[in-house]
Chains A and B, each alone.
Chain A
Amino acid sequence: MRITLNGDPFDLAGPLTVTALLAQLQIDPRRVAVEHNRVVLKRGAFDAVLVGEGDEVEIVNFVGGGMN
């Protein structure tokens, strides 16, 4: 199953929750924000939202900086 993850194609075995996806990617859910098909998800929704074929997912975190 293919999705777009942070702008790039990404393959997954099958549909899974955002929580499961973050776990697979070894990303701490407390440190990130997730956008699923252009909708910013509340952290509480990670268990409920299912990522499926063709979905666009953005996972962001805080980094140092402003414009360089």
Chain B
Amino acid sequence: MDALTIADRTFTSRLIVGTGKYSSPGVMVRAHEASGAEMVTVAVRRVNIADRTKESLLDYIDTAKYVLLPNTAGCYTADDAVRTARLGREAGLSNWVKLEVIGDERTLFPDNEQLLEATRTLVREGFVVLPYTTDDPIVCRKLEDAGAAAIMPLGAPIGSGLGIQNVNNLRIIREFARVPLVVDAGVGTASDAALAMEIGADAVLMNTAIAGAQDPVAMAEAMKLAVRAGRLAFLSGRIPRKMYATASSPVEGLVGR
């Protein structure tokens, strides 16, 4: 079976989804179901002490069915990210973390310097670190050297829906990657996810593309199919690109020639 293995876990699905920006918990639950995802990302935030009536996210996510992947969204320094990761571990009793250290509020591009520092610290503390990073092959290599369990370069800025901005960089990253490669961020529609898998990514992570779609449940299904299609195409060994035509039918036996 074409299973995805990251650290000590094996997955059937190569689509990882988020839990943010949904119009309602009900829509989120149905979208997750339609996506076929087996792992979902969650953010770590202060409990609202004043308003205790709010329901908890965990009321809606079946943790027997989905692996929770805490992220360090909103952290701008290695210290904050490490602190949040430690809290996430205790809240979820799992040592997996999607590590985000953001460098800029508008673009949400990662601060790779702080990201590397946080990765080293968390790997030392026994975390399974999945760092969200840029499509820079050198940074990806350094993250691997630092002990990251996977590398997660962005396709485009978070929530931008621009798709894969630098196909060639991702191809280069794929060629040299020694750990699973997950394209994370920037996916807009199904073809973007399929392209990521055709390039050879091991998985795709997305949130906004599904949650922000007009019909999130339908889009979730589209993404499930796209990831499968892209993966199958990758494994099938595509034809080379050619500048001109190569006729499919024989030239001999043409009437009138």
Contact status B90-A64, CB under 8 Å? no
Q: Does A14 contact B (CB under 8 A)?
A: no
A67 to chain B, nearest CB (A): 5
Which B residues are in CB contact (< 8 Å) with A58? Answer: 46, 87
| Interface members, chain B 100-137 (any A CB < 8 Å) | 100, 102, 108
A18 to chain B, nearest CB (A): 12
Contact status B91-A66, CB under 8 Å? no
Contact status A25-B49, CB under 8 Å? yes
Range of interface residues on A (Cβ < 8 Å)? 20 to 34
Contact status A33-B87, CB under 8 Å? yes
Which B residues are in CB contact (< 8 Å) with A68? Answer: 20-21, 159
Contact status B91-A32, CB under 8 Å? yes
| Cα of A8 to Cα of B46 in the assembled complex, Å | 11
Among the listed B21, B57, B100, which residue makes an inter-chain contact with A62, where contact means beta carbons less than 8 Å apart? B57
Could you say which of B7-15, B69-77, B187-195, B221-229 contacts chain A? B69-77
Given A6-B46, A7-B46, A34-B90, 15 new contacts (CB under 8 A) = A6-B49, A25-B52, A31-B58, A32-B91, A33-B87, A40-B83, A42-B90, A43-B90, A62-B58, A64-B19, A64-B22, A64-B43, A64-B57, A66-B41, A67-B74
12 CB-based A-B contacts, threshold 8 Å: A5-B49, A6-B46, A25-B47, A28-B56, A33-B91, A38-B83, A60-B87, A64-B19, A64-B20, A65-B42, A66-B20, A68-B21
